[in-house]
Amino acid sequence: MTKESGLSLADGQERGEALRLLKRILSENGKAHVRGYVVAVICLVLVALTTAFLAWIMRDVIDQIFVQRDRAMLVTLPLAVFLAFLIRGVASYGQGVTLARIGNDIVARYQKRLFAHLTELSVDFFGENRSAQLAARISQNVTGVRDTLNLTVTSLARDLLTLVFLIAVMIWQDPVLSAIALLAGPPIAILIGGLSRKLRRATRQSIDLNARVVGAMQEAAQGIQVVKAFTMEAPLRQRTDALVEAAEERANRIAAITERSGPIMEIVAGLAVAGVIGWSGYRAIVYGYSPGAMFAFITALLLAYDPARRLARLQVEMERALVNARMIYELLDLQPRKRDRPGAPDLVVRGGEIRFEGVEFSYAASDPVLRGVDFVAPAGRTTAIIGASGGGKSTILALIERFYEPGAGRILIDGQDISGVTRHSLRRQIAYVPQQPVLFEGTIRDNLRYGRMDATNAEIEAAARLAQAEEFILAQPQGYDTPVGENGVTLSGGQRQRLSIARALVRGAPILVLDEATSALDTRSEMLVQRALADIMTEKTVLVVAHRLSTIVGAHQILVVEQGKVAESGSHADLLSRDGGLYARFHNLQASGAVESGPTGP
């Protein structure tokens, strides 16, 4: 296969893909806005008709007013021209407002659809994609669907019809001159086709680079304290400058490609108009042709220039819009890697016993994190999990929430394999406190209510008191209605953690999962929170991951996780009595203040 035939095949495939994408966009959005598009098309047709009418009436204006000096036409023809402009102005306003409203609705619907879809994707998707770059890419791409539809409607209903009507006027006035003028079409189409292929690749690269630029800036803003603490300003500036310069180079290339159609149009159109003026002038001088017909033809030709220019650029602009739309659909077409089984029942919790049977797990292509984990967390009891960092403690909690699926083995709650129930029903039965507290935009009360959306204010305030959070909440300027700032930036780490605990208490679920829930608290707050948690732990199945023994000595069962396995289990007293055991060694080291990170293994 030659290089030329290979390029032709690739171009054909790309055109076919573009047509399929355009059909999909029309099928998903056309029905919802049929009335609006009908109104817009009617307005655009009126714009096209009045534009052609202005060219057509120029013959009568020149011949009857300036040549024949007909006084009666001094009122009729100017009035007709005014009415044409009036209709065109009203129609332009109507189509502009209508298409803007449709476009805004499309953008809003796709933003909602994207957010809903992203929240359904698995946790591992967000582990593989940087959130800042993902948000930046979405914000840039979401207008692609709107622009595709607007370009399609305005190009077909306004520009194409205007050009067709004006060409009809030109042919009516002078077929020979029309043939001369229309010779400019084929070379323009060929040149524009080549530009659109170059633009497709450059646009995709530009979108990716701009997303990385916005993502880098967002990450620096979110981590500004770390940036300044480690004097990272200079290296971050260098990295961001390199991204900005690369994005600038792509943007400059896109501008060069896009604007290249301008001089092509001007040169070819200039030759056509000059030829028409020369030939028509020669006929008027030598053969005495009517000046009105010549002026009407030239007026139609000049008026046809703008819609012809827009249609010539249509493929270039459509490529940019379709690239954005295609990247949106790439996200929308992503499927969660693990979905609920068809007909999966809801989880029914009677007591809350949690059982691990031979559970194994690894992240992507990494070494196994869990290796045959077996244990039972009795219903209504507290089970603590300790171990070295990276040993798999938090992974155990993540598997209970089904953020990930085990590679082997089973996890059961009250005898029900959680892989066979719906995720929504599973997570409704679990209150989760993550190691890193996360707060969302809104007030303190809003964040606590995310625990259970139907919770009353009284329940929210009771949970805050249990979590020892009410004291600092009431000290805020607006109490419970104080905005928390971006991820709770106005609050201390301990305050954010207490709000996270309060949110879990609002949930009121029979299973409570605490991942280092008191790690950010001072000694006094930790003691108060532990006392509060002790009151509610008697009624729930609790799994708590901890490093500090002070938080788990009262647990009914303690599991020591070492290298992905449960190495020891028992009560605090039982484990402490085992000379040379991991837990006993950890206790002795921590008691002497030597370590704070957990047992280090044999």
Degrees, nearest 5: CA angle 132-133-135 = 65
Q: How far apart are CA 502 and CA 463, in angstroms?
A: 5
337: helix, strand or coil: coil
End-to-end CA distance of the chain: 65
Contact 439, 492 (CB under 8 A): no
Contact 251, 176 (CB under 8 A): no
The domain 26-332 belongs to what CATH superfamily?
A: ABC transporter type 1, transmembrane domain (1.20.1560.10)
Domain with CATH 1.20.1560.10 in the chain: 26-332
- pLDDT tens-digit profile of 576-595? 888 777 888 877 776 665 44
Q: At what angle do helices 291-332 and 144-154 cross, to 10 degrees?
A: 160
- pLDDT tens-digit profile of 17-69? 778 888 888 888 878 888 898 999 899 899 889 888 888 888 888 878 777 77
- Asked whether the predicted pLDDT for residue 132 surpasses 80, the reply is no
- pLDDT tens-digit profile of 468-499? 888 899 998 899 999 887 667 778 877 888 88
Domain with CATH 3.40.50.300 in the chain: 347-429+541-602
Tokens 């007591």 label which residue? 351
- Listed in sequence order, the residues at least 6 apart from 7 whose beta carbon sits closer than 8 Å to its beta carbon are none
| Overall average pLDDT of the 293-309 stretch | 78
CATH fold, domain 347-429+541-602, is Rossmann fold (3.40.50)
- Asked whether the predicted pLDDT for residue 270 surpasses 80, the reply is no
pLDDT for res 601: 37
pLDDT for res 194: 66
Q: Is the pTM of this model over 0.95?
A: no
What percent of the chain lies above the pLDDT cut of 90?
Answer: 15
| Overall average pLDDT of the 392-401 stretch | 89
- pLDDT tens-digit profile of 322-370? 878 888 888 888 887 777 888 889 999 988 899 999 999 988 767 788 9
Q: Pick the residue with more confidence: 1 or 523? A: 523
- pLDDT tens-digit profile of 437-447? 888 888 999 99
Contact 526, 493 (CB under 8 A): no
Q: Pick the residue with more confidence: 357 or 296? A: 357
pLDDT for res 365: 63
pLDDT band at 107 (very low <50, low <70, confident <90, very high): confident
- pLDDT tens-digit profile of 222-263? 677 667 776 778 888 888 888 888 888 887 887 777 777 667
Q: Pick the residue with more confidence: 380 or 315? A: 380
Q: How far apart are CA 520 and CA 494, in angstroms?
A: 5
